[in-house]
A and B are shown apart, each in its own frame.
Chain A
Protein backbone atom coordinates (compact mmCIF):
# COMPACT_ATOMS: atom_id res chain seq x y z
CA UNK A 1 0.00 0.00 0.00
CA UNK A 2 1.44 3.30 -1.09
CA UNK A 3 0.34 6.54 0.49
CA UNK A 4 -0.61 8.06 -2.85
CA UNK A 5 -2.97 5.23 -3.71
CA UNK A 6 -4.46 5.37 -0.22
CA UNK A 7 -4.91 9.13 -0.51
CA UNK A 8 -6.60 8.75 -3.91
CA UNK A 9 -8.92 6.12 -2.50
CA UNK A 10 -9.83 8.33 0.44
CA UNK A 11 -10.39 11.33 -1.83
CA UNK A 12 -12.71 9.29 -4.03
CA UNK A 13 -14.65 8.14 -1.01
CA UNK A 14 -14.74 11.25 1.16
CA UNK A 15 -14.25 14.05 -1.41
CA UNK A 16 -13.87 17.54 -0.01
CA UNK A 17 -13.90 16.32 3.58
CA UNK A 18 -10.20 15.52 3.20
CA UNK A 19 -8.89 19.02 3.86
CA UNK A 20 -5.16 18.47 3.44
CA UNK A 21 -2.58 15.70 3.25
CA UNK A 22 1.10 15.66 4.00
CA UNK A 23 3.73 12.92 3.95
CA UNK A 24 6.88 15.00 4.23
CA UNK A 25 7.27 14.52 7.97
CA UNK A 26 7.77 11.25 9.79
CA UNK A 27 4.53 9.71 8.59
CA UNK A 28 1.41 10.35 6.58
CA UNK A 29 -0.84 13.04 8.06
CA UNK A 30 -4.37 13.96 7.05
CA UNK A 31 -6.43 16.89 8.20
CA UNK A 32 -10.09 16.04 7.74
CA UNK A 33 -13.50 17.50 8.50
CA UNK A 34 -14.63 16.58 11.99
CA UNK A 35 -17.98 15.10 10.91
CA UNK A 36 -16.48 12.22 8.90
CA UNK A 37 -13.97 11.02 11.49
CA UNK A 38 -15.98 8.02 12.63
CA UNK A 39 -16.67 6.78 9.09
CA UNK A 40 -13.06 7.40 8.11
CA UNK A 41 -11.60 5.47 11.05
CA UNK A 42 -14.09 2.68 10.51
CA UNK A 43 -13.09 2.52 6.82
CA UNK A 44 -9.38 2.51 7.65
CA UNK A 45 -9.85 -0.26 10.19
CA UNK A 46 -12.19 -2.51 8.20
CA UNK A 47 -10.76 -2.09 4.70
CA UNK A 48 -7.20 -0.82 5.06
CA UNK A 49 -5.97 -2.94 7.97
CA UNK A 50 -5.33 0.01 10.31
CA UNK A 51 -6.34 -2.24 13.16
CA UNK A 52 -4.47 -0.59 16.03
CA UNK A 53 -5.22 2.76 17.66
CA UNK A 54 -1.81 3.90 18.90
CA UNK A 55 -2.94 7.15 20.44
CA UNK A 56 -5.71 9.66 20.69
CA UNK A 57 -5.11 13.07 22.18
CA UNK A 58 -6.20 16.69 22.14
CA UNK A 59 -4.45 19.91 21.23
CA UNK A 60 -5.21 23.61 21.57
CA UNK A 61 -4.12 26.27 19.05
CA UNK A 62 -5.53 29.55 20.41
CA UNK A 63 -4.66 31.44 17.21
CA UNK A 64 -6.82 29.25 14.96
CA UNK A 65 -10.49 29.83 14.24
CA UNK A 66 -11.17 26.20 15.09
CA UNK A 67 -9.09 26.17 18.23
CA UNK A 68 -9.43 22.67 19.58
CA UNK A 69 -8.12 19.59 17.84
CA UNK A 70 -8.16 15.84 18.24
CA UNK A 71 -5.32 13.77 16.83
CA UNK A 72 -5.58 10.06 16.08
CA UNK A 73 -2.63 7.78 15.39
CA UNK A 74 -3.50 4.53 13.63
CA UNK A 75 -1.17 1.64 12.86
CA UNK A 76 -1.53 -0.88 10.07
CA UNK A 77 0.06 -3.88 11.78
CA UNK A 78 -0.10 -6.00 8.63
CA UNK A 79 2.08 -3.74 6.49
CA UNK A 80 3.63 -1.75 9.35
CA UNK A 81 2.32 1.59 8.10
CA UNK A 82 1.16 4.42 10.28
CA UNK A 83 -1.25 7.25 9.68
CA UNK A 84 -2.09 10.37 11.64
CA UNK A 85 -5.50 12.04 11.44
CA UNK A 86 -6.27 15.53 12.69
CA UNK A 87 -9.64 17.17 13.14
CA UNK A 88 -10.45 20.61 14.46
CA UNK A 89 -13.54 22.02 16.16
CA UNK A 90 -14.49 25.39 17.60
CA UNK A 91 -14.39 26.07 21.32
CA UNK A 92 -18.09 26.95 21.28
CA UNK A 93 -19.09 23.61 19.75
CA UNK A 94 -16.46 21.05 20.68
CA UNK A 95 -18.51 18.02 19.64
CA UNK A 96 -16.70 15.06 18.09
CA UNK A 97 -18.07 11.59 17.39
CA UNK A 98 -16.77 8.99 19.83
CA UNK A 99 -14.92 6.05 18.31
CA UNK A 100 -15.34 3.76 21.32
CA UNK A 101 -17.66 1.55 19.22
CA UNK A 102 -14.74 0.99 16.80
CA UNK A 103 -11.79 0.83 19.23
CA UNK A 104 -12.60 -0.01 22.87
CA UNK A 105 -9.17 1.32 23.77
CA UNK A 106 -10.38 4.80 22.88
CA UNK A 107 -12.57 4.86 25.98
CA UNK A 108 -10.03 6.16 28.51
CA UNK A 109 -8.14 8.20 25.92
CA UNK A 110 -11.31 10.09 25.08
CA UNK A 111 -12.02 10.60 28.76
CA UNK A 112 -8.52 12.02 29.20
CA UNK A 113 -8.96 14.32 26.19
CA UNK A 114 -12.28 15.47 27.62
CA UNK A 115 -10.70 16.00 31.02
CA UNK A 116 -7.86 18.18 29.77
CA UNK A 117 -9.37 19.92 26.72
CA UNK A 118 -13.13 19.77 27.22
CA UNK A 119 -13.80 18.01 23.93
CA UNK A 120 -17.27 16.48 23.99
CA UNK A 121 -17.16 12.97 22.53
CA UNK A 122 -20.70 12.31 21.36
CA UNK A 123 -21.75 8.70 21.98
CA UNK A 124 -19.09 7.96 24.63
CA UNK A 125 -20.52 5.53 27.21
CA UNK A 126 -19.02 7.22 30.27
CA UNK A 127 -17.65 10.67 29.51
CA UNK A 128 -16.38 11.98 32.85
CA UNK A 129 -13.05 13.13 34.23
CA UNK A 130 -10.41 10.45 34.56
CA UNK A 131 -7.26 12.08 36.01
CA UNK A 132 -8.23 15.36 37.64
CA UNK A 133 -10.40 15.86 40.71
CA UNK A 134 -14.10 15.46 39.93
CA UNK A 135 -15.04 18.93 41.14
CA UNK A 136 -12.57 20.74 38.88
CA UNK A 137 -14.58 23.24 36.82
CA UNK A 138 -12.18 23.92 33.95
CA UNK A 139 -10.05 22.04 31.43
CA UNK A 140 -6.46 22.69 32.49
CA UNK A 141 -4.49 21.97 29.30
CA UNK A 142 -6.27 24.68 27.32
CA UNK A 143 -3.95 27.62 26.77
CA UNK A 144 -6.21 29.98 28.67
CA UNK A 145 -4.85 29.84 32.18
CA UNK A 146 -1.74 30.92 34.04
CA UNK A 147 0.70 28.02 34.45
CA UNK A 148 0.68 28.34 38.20
CA UNK A 149 -2.09 27.21 40.47
CA UNK A 150 -4.70 29.98 40.52
CA UNK A 151 -6.12 28.85 43.86
CA UNK A 152 -2.91 29.18 45.83
CA UNK A 153 -2.90 31.50 48.79
CA UNK A 154 0.46 30.97 50.43
CA UNK A 155 2.89 32.08 47.72
CA UNK A 156 2.94 35.85 47.85
CA UNK A 157 4.08 37.50 44.61
CA UNK A 158 6.13 40.03 46.60
CA UNK A 159 8.48 37.28 47.74
CA UNK A 160 8.99 35.92 44.23
CA UNK A 161 10.11 39.13 42.52
CA UNK A 162 6.86 39.62 40.59
Chain B
Protein backbone atom coordinates (compact mmCIF):
# COMPACT_ATOMS: atom_id res chain seq x y z
CA UNK B 1 0.00 0.00 0.00
CA UNK B 2 1.38 3.35 -0.92
CA UNK B 3 1.53 6.35 1.44
CA UNK B 4 -1.36 7.95 -0.42
CA UNK B 5 -3.88 5.15 0.16
CA UNK B 6 -3.52 5.10 3.91
CA UNK B 7 -6.91 5.45 5.65
CA UNK B 8 -5.37 6.10 9.07
CA UNK B 9 -3.02 8.72 10.43
CA UNK B 10 0.09 7.95 12.36
CA UNK B 11 1.84 10.36 14.68
CA UNK B 12 4.10 12.87 13.11
CA UNK B 13 7.79 12.20 13.45
CA UNK B 14 9.68 14.63 15.67
CA UNK B 15 12.45 16.86 14.40
CA UNK B 16 15.40 14.86 13.25
CA UNK B 17 17.53 13.67 10.39
CA UNK B 18 16.31 11.08 8.01
CA UNK B 19 17.80 9.40 5.02
CA UNK B 20 17.04 6.08 3.39
CA UNK B 21 17.32 3.40 6.06
CA UNK B 22 17.63 5.54 9.19
CA UNK B 23 16.07 8.30 11.22
CA UNK B 24 17.94 10.11 13.96
CA UNK B 25 16.47 12.29 16.69
CA UNK B 26 17.16 13.01 20.34
CA UNK B 27 16.32 10.47 23.05
CA UNK B 28 14.11 13.05 24.77
CA UNK B 29 11.96 13.38 21.69
CA UNK B 30 11.72 9.66 20.99
CA UNK B 31 10.74 8.89 24.57
CA UNK B 32 8.32 11.84 24.65
CA UNK B 33 6.69 10.59 21.47
CA UNK B 34 6.17 7.14 22.94
CA UNK B 35 4.90 8.47 26.26
CA UNK B 36 2.47 11.02 24.96
CA UNK B 37 0.71 8.56 22.71
CA UNK B 38 0.25 5.88 25.33
CA UNK B 39 -0.83 7.72 28.47
CA UNK B 40 -2.69 5.61 30.99
CA UNK B 41 -5.11 7.86 32.82
CA UNK B 42 -6.39 7.21 36.34
CA UNK B 43 -9.90 8.70 36.51
CA UNK B 44 -10.62 10.15 39.94
CA UNK B 45 -14.24 11.05 39.26
CA UNK B 46 -16.35 12.37 42.10
CA UNK B 47 -19.21 14.21 40.41
CA UNK B 48 -20.72 15.53 37.17
CA UNK B 49 -17.34 16.09 35.48
CA UNK B 50 -16.89 12.33 35.82
CA UNK B 51 -20.07 11.83 33.79
CA UNK B 52 -18.64 14.07 31.07
CA UNK B 53 -15.48 11.99 31.18
CA UNK B 54 -17.56 8.85 30.59
CA UNK B 55 -18.83 10.50 27.40
CA UNK B 56 -15.24 11.45 26.55
CA UNK B 57 -14.18 7.83 26.85
CA UNK B 58 -17.17 6.46 24.93
CA UNK B 59 -17.44 5.84 21.19
CA UNK B 60 -18.55 9.30 20.07
CA UNK B 61 -15.60 11.29 21.44
CA UNK B 62 -13.30 8.30 22.03
CA UNK B 63 -10.24 9.26 24.05
CA UNK B 64 -8.74 6.05 22.67
CA UNK B 65 -7.89 8.01 19.52
CA UNK B 66 -5.22 9.74 21.64
CA UNK B 67 -3.72 6.52 22.91
CA UNK B 68 -5.48 6.71 26.26
CA UNK B 69 -8.10 4.02 26.02
CA UNK B 70 -6.43 1.98 28.72
CA UNK B 71 -7.75 3.43 31.99
CA UNK B 72 -5.71 2.40 34.98
CA UNK B 73 -7.68 1.96 38.15
CA UNK B 74 -4.50 1.32 40.08
CA UNK B 75 -2.27 4.35 40.62
CA UNK B 76 0.82 2.14 40.32
CA UNK B 77 0.44 1.79 36.55
CA UNK B 78 -1.07 5.21 35.83
CA UNK B 79 0.72 8.11 34.15
CA UNK B 80 -1.99 10.75 34.38
CA UNK B 81 -4.21 11.52 37.37
CA UNK B 82 -7.47 13.03 36.13
CA UNK B 83 -9.33 14.62 39.04
CA UNK B 84 -12.88 15.32 37.96
CA UNK B 85 -15.25 16.76 40.52
CA UNK B 86 -15.58 18.34 43.93
CA UNK B 87 -12.94 17.24 46.42
CA UNK B 88 -14.07 17.57 50.03
CA UNK B 89 -11.41 18.47 52.58
CA UNK B 90 -11.87 15.04 54.07
CA UNK B 91 -10.93 13.52 50.71
CA UNK B 92 -7.83 15.69 50.18
CA UNK B 93 -5.42 13.23 51.90
CA UNK B 94 -6.82 10.47 49.67
CA UNK B 95 -6.04 12.44 46.50
CA UNK B 96 -2.55 13.11 47.80
CA UNK B 97 -2.03 9.45 48.68
CA UNK B 98 -3.16 8.35 45.21
CA UNK B 99 -0.69 10.82 43.70
CA UNK B 100 2.10 9.52 45.93
CA UNK B 101 1.39 5.95 44.82
CA UNK B 102 1.84 6.84 41.15
CA UNK B 103 5.24 6.14 39.66
CA UNK B 104 7.27 8.90 38.02
CA UNK B 105 6.82 10.41 35.52
CA UNK B 106 3.30 11.42 36.46
CA UNK B 107 1.00 14.23 35.40
CA UNK B 108 -2.16 15.71 36.88
CA UNK B 109 -5.11 17.33 35.16
CA UNK B 110 -7.81 19.16 37.15
CA UNK B 111 -11.06 18.85 35.22
CA UNK B 112 -13.84 21.32 35.97
CA UNK B 113 -14.28 24.34 38.21
CA UNK B 114 -14.45 22.34 41.46
CA UNK B 115 -11.21 20.45 41.01
CA UNK B 116 -9.51 23.63 39.79
CA UNK B 117 -10.71 26.12 42.41
CA UNK B 118 -13.50 24.68 44.56
CA UNK B 119 -16.03 26.10 42.09
CA UNK B 120 -19.27 27.34 43.60
CA UNK B 121 -18.52 25.42 46.78
CA UNK B 122 -16.76 28.21 48.60
CA UNK B 123 -17.46 26.60 51.94
CA UNK B 124 -15.95 25.04 55.05
CA UNK B 125 -15.98 21.46 53.84
CA UNK B 126 -14.63 21.76 50.29
CA UNK B 127 -11.01 21.90 49.20
CA UNK B 128 -10.48 25.11 47.23
CA UNK B 129 -8.75 23.42 44.30
CA UNK B 130 -6.69 20.23 44.24
CA UNK B 131 -3.54 22.31 43.76
CA UNK B 132 -3.66 22.74 47.54
CA UNK B 133 -2.50 19.13 47.87
CA UNK B 134 -0.93 18.01 44.56
CA UNK B 135 0.87 19.83 41.73
CA UNK B 136 -1.43 20.31 38.72
CA UNK B 137 -0.20 20.44 35.12
CA UNK B 138 -3.36 21.42 33.25
CA UNK B 139 -6.62 22.99 34.41
CA UNK B 140 -9.80 22.48 32.39
CA UNK B 141 -12.46 25.15 33.06
CA UNK B 142 -16.18 24.52 32.83
CA UNK B 143 -19.00 23.37 35.07
CA UNK B 144 -18.92 20.69 33.83
CA UNK B 145 -16.62 21.01 30.80
CA UNK B 146 -17.80 19.43 27.57
CA UNK B 147 -15.94 16.36 26.30
CA UNK B 148 -14.26 18.55 23.68
CA UNK B 149 -12.78 20.66 26.48
CA UNK B 150 -11.57 17.58 28.34
CA UNK B 151 -9.94 16.36 25.12
CA UNK B 152 -8.39 19.81 24.67
CA UNK B 153 -6.96 19.59 28.19
CA UNK B 154 -5.71 16.10 27.44
CA UNK B 155 -3.97 17.33 24.31
CA UNK B 156 -2.29 20.05 26.37
CA UNK B 157 -1.01 17.30 28.64
CA UNK B 158 0.25 15.41 25.58
CA UNK B 159 2.12 18.53 24.54
CA UNK B 160 3.77 18.74 27.97
CA UNK B 161 4.60 15.04 27.96
CA UNK B 162 6.07 15.16 24.46
CA UNK B 163 8.32 18.11 25.24
CA UNK B 164 9.47 17.14 28.71
CA UNK B 165 13.23 16.83 29.13
CA UNK B 166 14.21 13.47 30.60
CA UNK B 167 16.16 15.13 33.40
CA UNK B 168 13.28 17.23 34.70
CA UNK B 169 12.10 14.76 37.36
CA UNK B 170 15.60 14.52 38.83
CA UNK B 171 16.13 18.25 39.14
CA UNK B 172 16.40 19.87 42.58
CA UNK B 173 13.65 22.34 41.53
CA UNK B 174 11.24 19.47 40.92
CA UNK B 175 12.06 17.85 44.26
CA UNK B 176 11.68 21.17 46.01
CA UNK B 177 8.31 21.63 44.34
CA UNK B 178 7.10 18.23 45.58
CA UNK B 179 8.37 18.99 49.05
CA UNK B 180 6.39 22.23 49.09
CA UNK B 181 3.24 20.09 48.76
CA UNK B 182 4.41 17.76 51.53
CA UNK B 183 4.66 14.85 49.09
CA UNK B 184 6.97 12.00 49.96
CA UNK B 185 9.90 11.58 47.58
CA UNK B 186 11.33 8.19 46.66
CA UNK B 187 14.97 8.17 47.63
Contact = CB atoms under 8 A, between A and B. Distances in A.
A158 interface: no
A155 B124 contact: no
Contacts of B124: 132, 136, 140, 145, 149-150
Contact of B90 (A133, A147, A149, A152): A133
Nearest first, the 3 closest Cβ-Cβ pairs linking A and B are A140-B124, A148-B122, A133-B90
Contacts, number: 33
Interface residues of B, number: 11
B185 to A, nearest CB: 24
A2 interface: no
Contacts of B89: 132-133
Given A132-B90, A133-B90, A149 B117 contact: no
Contacts of B122: 147-149, 152, 155
B163 to A, nearest CB: 28
Interface residues of A, number: 14
B32 interface: no
A154 interface: yes
Interface of A: 131-133, 136, 140, 145, 147-150, 152-155
Contacts of B128: 149, 152-155
B129 A148 contact: no
Interface in B124-148: 124-126, 128-129
- Most A-side CB within 10 Å, residue of B122, B126, B129: B122
Given A132-B124, A149-B122, A155-B128, 18 more contacts: A131-B90, A131-B125, A132-B90, A133-B89, A136-B124, A140-B125, A147-B122, A147-B123, A148-B122, A148-B123, A149-B118, A149-B123, A149-B124, A149-B126, A152-B118, A152-B122, A152-B128, A153-B128
Contacts of A136: 124
Nearest to B93: A133
Contacts of A132: 89-90, 124-125
